Structure 1
Amino acid sequence: MPANRITHPRAAHGADHGLFTLGEPVTAWTVSTALPVTYEVAFTPQVLSPANPALAQAGGHPGRRLVVVDSHVHELFGDRIHGYFEARGLEHRICVLPAHEQVKTMDSVFRVAEQMDRFGISRRGEPVIAMGGGVLMDVVGLACSLYRRSTPFVRVPTTLIGLVDAGVGAKTGVNFGPHKNRLGTYHPATATLLDPSFLATLDPRHLSNGLAEILKIALIKDRRLFDLLEQRGEALIEQRFQGPAAGGEVLVRAVHGMLQELQPNLWEHRLERSMDYGHSFSPTVEMRALPELLHGEAVCVDMALTTVLAQRRGLVEPGQRDRILALMRTLRLPLWHPLMEPETLGDALTDTIRHRDGRQRLPLPVGIGGGCFADDLTADELGDSADELRELACVTQ
């Protein structure tokens, strides 16, 4: 058939073919395709036990593995990580990487890519293993999404915030200039192995940091989870999720709630996302406060502000507001930060509107366990809510 006499694929192959032409002769094409995505998230106790094959088999057949490990995690578990792969007879190389917000940059991504190149991993059959907190997993995930345009990886979160938040979604990213996670991709890990025993090594502040993301899910969609945190939150911190204090149900509800929200909208085609609760003002506040605030702490300050805002709108009763703020204090989280002032909050809202394609799409709680979205927040309303929160935080403290 001459090149200028191409038959319309809809007529030749059916409407689901996915390649459509325009004109006779053809002058334009429309390509319609889809990328099927399947990934696994599973609680995997004792993941570093040589008797447990889960880590060796995750993401592919047992074989060579590049293991990228947070430097602090390596201090605690380096011998056990090496011993695991030795015991299972797997060739491996361990890359130790400092991982915190100030080094969450493309330089760290390039370091991982260089190690991937030196190790000579195959394109599909040798997934990189990322062991650490949210920063480490975001960096490794971005490197893997870029290396040969798509390299599989496996996540083993070792922090609470990694276990319930950064470890279960599809996003990767690094900071760029003053902006949090401004550079990134959607590249879910082939598998995420959740082992709560790592939490036994966390200090209380980092446990509270992760509890902020669990509280986010409780406030916006899961009243039962809020009740569990209210009843047992302090014990969970003291026991580091290792004791009998309902830790298992809290973790399962948090992970399930997150995945329920992510699965129908993994690529964020819809920009009204309940999981953005606590993430409207916190990215700007967190980056300007570095290194003073951890991620979850900044999220909590954001949630405290929007709880007060919701109460002023009649969406949350005063008694519910007080319960929410009291639980934040019980979980040893901050309610207030000096950067919660008009200039920073205004800049944060401007950036959020750009991020959400020209609209506020601001998640607000409705009571405890429900939510809605607002597009009409004014600077005066924001300032008045911040002033009220500052007074309430002083009383609460």
Structure 2
Amino acid sequence: MTVQPESTSTSTSKTLCPRMSAARTPHHSWQVSTSKAVSYEVVLSPGLLDPSNPTLATAGVPQEARPGRRLIVVDAAVHAFYGARISDYFTQQAVEHEVFVVDAHESVKSMETVFEIVAAMDAFGISRRREPVIAVGGGVLTDLVGLATSLYRRSTPYLRVPTTLIGMVDAGIGAKTGVNFGRHKNRLGTYHPSTVTLDDGEFLATLSPRHLCNGLAEILKMAMVKDAVLFEHLESHGPRLIEERMQAAGSADGGAVAEDVMARAIHSMLEELQPNLWEHELQRLVDFGHSFSPAIEMAALPELLHGEAVCIDMAFSSVLAHRRGLLGRTDLERILRVMDGLALPTWHPVCTPDLMSRGLADTVKHRDGNQLLPLPVGIGQARFVNDVSRRELDTALAVLLDLGGDVGALAATSGNRGV
């Protein structure tokens, strides 16, 4: 399963061209055109902390620079479980290292925390190209380290080792970094992909069920708009995947299903990201569930996790699609049942009509003056719309509130509202 790296350029020209003005007062000007090939890896790599496995110790490092030195930035919760193993691993690999622990969560996803990481990098004395920083943690931690390394000496390489499901299938595999600013989600950031992302599903064995469900929301996102087979996996096996922490134990085919879910989710995501890595095109399937959720998540902070806010957005968008005739009642019922089976919310008290309207207005600014709202068309497809009205938002929100997570109420609600 291969996704080719994107090659980006500002122009096909590779020459530096002096130009003379025809104006009375002559002056010189130059146009600079260049290109930058982008290539990075996402690897399903079990057993990363096995002292006999050199993968983590050598990833992203030239042969002549090994074993070298590493600064390892670790999420505090991860350090509590794996701190001793991480230090022992690099000691066994003869890598000089230092561990910097960050209590990484949404409330401290800020430039202040980025500056703390930068200070740790500076104190460690990282060389510019030969000593990649290693980020071990969830999506917040990898976003923080990604932004810090993009700023330090204007670009320092780093590796991502996501330890949450949402990091493995979403936050840790793209090119974006970011922190919150004020009450705005990821308002500050850069495009700075890690050299390698190493996904080790064994970390999920110690992940809480809630955080596992948080990641399954992002998998459900890709399933709903791109991969009907993936949706069927979640529909048939969702509760078991949670119970077994995406591990092989518990049933004969449990491991095979978990592996296929992970591989399909990553492939679908990368297939969408690769041709549009810098988001020059703002009509993006991966934005499903991310039109209203930034406003929901920040208003509910710290009550909702990212994937939970995304799921509320997806439920709301599904109701919008249903009322427009894009999504049949049977499919809407299936979607809501899968969300319930994954222990994900479909509503939160912060979801007022004004909040949803403000959220969409901010999204329109983010998408250059267009809604570009992805709505599901059946299961596994989507359509972009640009004409959702405030009245339509208010009505869909009332329908969602009436449902209150009760799928059985859908028929009555739909009948009352003529859908």
Bin of the TM-score, shorter chain as denominator length: over 0.9
- Cα deviation, 1:265-308, whole Å, max 9, x if unaligned, reads 00000000100000000001100101110000000000000001
**Mapped partners of 1:336, 1:282: distance in 2:** 11
Aligned to 2:100: 95
Give the 3-state SS of the residue equivalent to 2:302 in structure 1. Answer: coil
Between Structure 1 and Structure 2, how many residues are aligned?
383
Which residue is 1:60 aligned to?
61
Question: How far is the alpha carbon of 1:391 from its aligned partner?
Answer: 1.3
Check conservation: 2:340, 2:405, Cα contact below 8 A. Answer: no
Instruction: Confirm or deny that 1:314 pairs with 2:314.
Output: no
Candidates 274, 285, 300, aligned match of 1:289:
300
- Spell out, residue by residue over 1:152-204, the C-alpha distance to the aligned partner (whole angstroms, 9 max, x if none): 00000000000000110000000000001000000000000000000000111
Equivalent position SS for 1:181 = strand
Question: For 1:338-397, what per-residue CA distance to the aligned partner results, in whole angstroms no more than 9, with x for missing partners?
Answer: 122111011101110111111111111111000111110100001101111111225338
Aligned counterpart in structure 2 of residue 71 of structure 1, from 73, 76, 87: 76
- 1:345-384 mapped onto 2 (5 Å cutoff): 345-384=356-395
Given the superposition, is the C-alpha separation of residues 17 and 203 from structure 1 closer, same or farther in structure 2, using an over 3 Å criterion? closer
SS at match of 1:303: helix
CA–CA distance in structure 1, aligned partners of residues 318 and 129 of structure 2 = 46
Quick one: which of 130, 135, 160 aligns to 2:165?
A: 160
Unaligned regions of 5+ residues in structure 1, if any? 1-14
Match of 1:16 among 13, 18, 29: 13
8 A Cα contact 2:345 2:405, kept in partner: no
Counterpart CA distance in 2 for 1:298 and 1:223 is 22
- Matched with 1:37 is 38
- Residue 26 of structure 1: how far off its partner (Å): 5.9
- One of 263, 269, 277 as aligned partner of 1:258: 269
Per the TM alignment, residue 23 of structure 1 is displaced from its structure 2 partner at its CA by 2.1
Supply the AA of the counterpart residue of 2:131: E
1:126 matched to which residue of 2?
131
2:116 alignment counterpart: 111
Amino acid at match of 1:346: S
Q: Which residue of 1 aligns with 2:412?
A: none
Task: Tell me the amino acid that sits aligned with residue 392 of structure 2.
Answer: E
Distance between the aligned counterparts of 2:405 and 2:284, measured in 1? 31
C-alpha distance in 2, partners of 1:394/1:231? 19
Give the match for residue 334 of structure 2. Answer: 323
TM-aligned CA deviation for residue 30 of structure 1: 1.6
* Alignment-derived partner of residue 6 in structure 1: none
Among 207, 215, 223, the alignment partner of 1:218 is 223
Report the equivalent of 1:8: none
Aligned equivalents of 2:269, 2:83: Cα separation in 1? 30
Amino acid in structure 2 at the alignment position of 1:257? S
Q: Which moved further from structure 2: 26-35 or 253-262? A: 26-35
Once the 2 structures are TM-superposed, how far is the Cα of residue 18 of structure 1 from its aligned partner? 3.4
Range 20-29 or range 259-268, more displaced: 20-29
What is the SS of the residue equivalent to 2:161? strand
After TM superposition, the structure 1 = structure 2 runs for residues 106-255 of structure 1, keeping only pairs within 5 Å, are 106-243=111-248, 244-245=253-254, 246-255=257-266
Does the CA contact (< 8 Å) of 2:14 and 2:34 recur in 1?
Answer: no
Distance 1:207 1:268, change over 3 A: same
**4+ aligned runs moved over 3 Å, structure 1:** none
SS of residue in 2 equivalent to 1:264? helix
CA separation in 1, counterparts of 2:354 and 2:18? 51
In 1: Cα distance, 2:262 partner to 2:333 partner? 25
Deviation at 1:17, TM superposition (A): 2.6
Distance (Å, rounded) in 1 between the aligned partners of 2:16 and 2:237: 56
Counterparts of 1:302 and 1:264, CA distance in 2: 25
Specify the code of the residue in structure 2 equivalent to 1:80: R
Counterpart AA for 2:123 = R
TM-aligned CA deviation for residue 128 of structure 1: 0.1
Give the letter aligned to residue 34 of structure 2: T
The 2-side partners of 1:238 and 1:342 are apart by: 36
TM-score (normalised: structure 1): 0.95
How much does 1:33 deviate?
Answer: 1.3
* Maintained 8 Å contact 2:46/2:201: yes
Q: Distance in 1 between the 2:117 and 2:271 partners?
A: 31
Paired residue secondary structure (2:148)? helix
Distance 1:20 1:372, change over 3 A: farther
Q: Deviations over 1:97-154 (max 9, x none)?
A: 0000001001110010000000001000000000000000000000000000000000
Q: Give SS of 2:191's match.
A: coil
Partner residue in 2 for 1:11: none
Corresponding residue SS for 1:206? helix
**Do the aligned partners of 2:346 and 2:405 also contact (CA within 8 Å) in 1?**
no
1:216-272 CA deviation, whole Å, 9 max, x = no partner? 000010000000100111100000011242100000000000000000000000000
Give me the whole-angstrom Cα distance separating, in 2, the residues matched to 1:204 and 1:350: 34
* Change over 3 Å in CA distance of 1:133–1:394 after alignment to 2: closer
Could you tell me how far apart the structure 2 residues matched to 1:92 and 1:365 are? 47
Q: Once structures 1 and 2 are overlaid, which stretch shifts more, 350-359 or 25-34?
A: 25-34
- 1:323 maps to a residue whose letter is R
Measure how far apart 1:36 and its partner are. 1.2
